[in-house]
Chain A
Amino acid sequence: MSGSESGPQHHFASHFADSGGVDFSGDQSTNITEETREELRQIAARYPQARSALLPMLHLVQSVEGRVTPAGIEACAEILEISTAQVSGVATFYTMYKRKPMGRHHVGVCTTALCAVMGGDQILSDLQDHLGVGNDETTEDGKITLEHVECNAACDFAPVMMVNWEFMDNMTPDSARELVDKLRADEEVTSTRGATISTWRDAERVLAGFDDGRADEGPAAGPASTLGLEIAKEKGWQAPAVPAEAPADAGQEEK
């Protein structure tokens, strides 16, 4: 990039709109308590070297603060005995860490190539119109932050959406609108392959490694996941029999 117009006022324009650091100048209020610090120390204790805990610790900070805050960064730095710059450097690298206050729910629409082509692009633009927000923006009522997300490993359920990082499979513009309307009205929403939707903050707490007791909700697999298995059952196909040391009987037992 050669800024060719020289002279007194040439401004550097970054192509990375969100490339700034964590804002240490604004509102410095915090929800972090001694209890939070204790939990942060618990996370650090899981690892042979404490610094390994930084990613889950930042997830916990988000669950308490609703974003990565200066106070959260300072707490992590203090516990891990590293500088706040080192923590900020990590917090600004990963897309799941948010520097702006988040809505109650995070709604992601996959727009990586396959989902985009299968309809994800249209779903996203419909939702932006419907909610009156742009990418990575929060609705006025604070209920939903809408973001386009990259491939979420559910391509056989395309087009895919995520709510607080739970799967919403095989979406259409209509089902997407209905979904966000329900979330805004605080109606119960259940993931197509997961648990009842709680909040983004609750999700962040689980990602920090704290159980929310919902592991047994939802199915083992979605229909696409078991398609090959169902076809094999229908056709009587299976893996070869185990070569038996003593002949006969050994092969079929597992079925």
Chain B
Amino acid sequence: MSEQSVDLLTPVLTRNWGDERAWKLSNYERVGGYAALRKALKQTPDELVNLVKDAGLRGRGGAGFPTGMKWSFVPKDNPNPTYLVINADESEPGTCKDIPLMMASPHTLVEGAIISSYAIGAEHAFIYVRGEVLHVARRLQQAVREAYSAGYLGKNILGSGVNVDLVIHSGAGAYICGEETALLDSLEGLRGQPRLRPPFPAVAGLYASPTVINNVESIASVPCIVDNGKEWFSSMGTEKSKGMTIYSLSGHVKRPGQFEAPMGITLRQLLELAGGVRDGHKLKFWTPGGSSTPILTDEHLDLPLDYEGMAGAGSMLGTKALQIFDDTTSVVRTTLRWVEFYKHESCGKCTPCREGSWWLVQILLRLEAGEGVEGDIEKMLDLCDNIGGRSFCALADGAVACVTSAVRYFREEFEQAYHTPAWELFPYGRSALFASSKEGANA
């Protein structure tokens, strides 16, 4: 099956997004929807776990942990019920793939949820969707109602004896709830704060019971694997990063949007499809997978966008959220705005993250204003050293990744910030996507 040439773009999950009323059950069934569920119900749960494992599907929420392996960690002898929790809290800055998926084709996720629940032995599944996306909540709620009426959810699904209940749960505004253990606390009706691990959720997750938490895109990828087989899935992608995935291009590109491609496509190829960077401008820096992944520059255009390729460049594939910034953009300003985000979203549990992100903002504010003082760069890096890796969860690591990588590639711009405001070096109006009436105005 190997190395036949695979097309540059391979729409699978996005295939029906352009269809008329793609979100309706009947339209999803018309393009083959729920065939995978019927097929899956004829297999044993173990066969399904192995199928997903062998296909090489890795978590699409950022960490890239093998999905089938995660499933296999659920203990078989635990007396408590097993739960499936789908992380639909998409909030990582730059990330915008799960929301359109659930809006256009919620049944892809619902079908994946049912199959995955059966595979791990869960009779209860939850989709934890961030609160700030009203129309997505509507479409999901409706899809679940339709699936119940069709006998795809509830008791004795399609006469198989399998029971699955699925609840759509809207969050209430907290980035931290995308962190899986904070999500569990939130789903238990608590403040969303990360838990100490171990125990891991597979053993003691929701209600201290065995729980699998997967990203939307991971679960949505399950039906096509069941439908088409592991060889088909792994014929796309690279050695260790298999299958197709959704890449999101945003920012200073001519045509931003979603591109579903085999793992390992390069930014150069994606940029070409997106019409390139804005006319008259050059790429300055970009994130491979949201703001928590260290930024890269034009020297990294030809690296494969897979887990290994990005790790090799000192970054991470993350959520494949490619935020593109051109040469009009101030690195100092952008870094400040990212760190302000982490400061706002720090849940407050761990001192290094809660206090450190606040102090980083203080330094970056004066740097933006051109009022940095000698030693600020070193002080920032020192702070970063004391934040990253010293907190319960990865929010802290994300908060410093943008700082350390920005200094790595653009140190001279931070030095200029000792004397010149960022808005003088890079008049902000020039970065806007609309013609600005007051170019250079200090926001």
Which residues of A approach B to under 8 Å, CB–CB? 15, 46-49, 51-56, 58-59, 80, 89-90, 93-97, 108, 111-114, 116-119, 121-122, 125, 149-159, 162, 164-167, 170, 172-173, 191, 193-195, 203, 206-209, 211-212, 214-216, 218, 220-232, 235, 237-240, 242-243, 254
Contact = CB atoms under 8 A, between A and B. Distances in A.
A111 B98 CA distance: 21
Contact of A242 (B17, B18, B228, B434): B228
Interface of B: 1, 4, 6-12, 14-15, 17-24, 31-32, 81, 90-96, 98-100, 103-105, 124, 130-135, 137-139, 141-142, 145, 167-175, 186-192, 207, 227-229, 231-232, 235-236, 244, 247-252, 255-261, 273-274, 291, 321, 323, 325, 329, 333-334, 337-338, 341, 344-345, 347, 358, 428-429, 431-434, 436-438, 441, 443
Q: How would you classify the secondary structure of chain A's contact residues: helix, strand, loop or mixed?
A: loop
B171 A114 contact: no
A132 B103 CA distance: 35
Nearest to B7: A237
Contacts of B130: 153
Contacts of A215: 23, 135, 138-139, 141-142
A52 B255 CA distance: 41
Nearest to A149: B132
A112 B337 contact: yes
A144 to B, nearest CB: 17
A193 B137 contact: no
Nearest to A53: B189
B433 A158 contact: yes
B172 A156 contact: no
B231 A243 contact: yes
Given A49-B188, A193-B103, A237-B8, A220 B18 contact: yes
Contacts of B436: 119, 122
Contacts of B9: 228, 231-232, 235, 237
Contacts of B133: 152-153, 165, 167
B230 to A, nearest CB: 10
Given A89-B191, A156-B249, A239-B7, 18 more contacts: A52-B189, A90-B189, A94-B131, A96-B172, A108-B132, A117-B333, A153-B90, A155-B93, A155-B323, A209-B170, A211-B142, A220-B23, A220-B104, A225-B14, A228-B260, A240-B6, A242-B228, A254-B32
B291 A113 contact: yes
Contact of A207 (B95, B137, B329): B137
Contacts of B171: 55, 94, 96
B107 to A, nearest CB: 12
